[in-house]
A and B are shown apart, each in its own frame.
Chain A
Amino acid sequence: NAGVTQTPKFRVLKTGQSMTLLCAQDMNHEYMYWYRQDPGMGLRLIHYSVGEGTTAKGEVPDGYNVSRLKKQNFLLGLESAAPSQTSVYFCASKSSLNEKLFFGSGTQLSVL
Chain B
Amino acid sequence: DAKTTQPTSMDCAEGRAANLPCNHSTISGNEYVYWYRQIHSQGPQYIIHGLKNNETNEMASLIITEDRKSSTLILPHATLRDTAVYYCIVRVGTDSSYKLIFGSGTRLLVRP
Contact = CB atoms under 8 A, between A and B. Distances in A.
A101 B102 contact: no
B43 A104 contact: yes
B57 to A, nearest CB: 11
A62 interface: no
Contacts of B102: 35, 42-44
Contacts of A105: 42-43
- Chain B binding surface SS class: loop
Interface centre among A43, A56, A94, A100 (most CB of B within 10 A): A43
Nearest to A58: B99
Given A42-B87, A42-B104, A99-B49, A90 B43 contact: yes
A45 interface: yes
* Contact residues on A (Cβ < 8 Å of other chain), bracket: 20 to 34
| Chain B interface residue number, banded | 20 to 34
A41 B43 contact: no
Contact of B97 (A4, A43, A48, A59): A48
Nearest to A100: B46
A31 interface: yes
A85 B45 CA distance: 24
A105 B41 CA distance: 8
Contact of A106 (B32, B43, B98, B103): B43
B42 A106 contact: yes
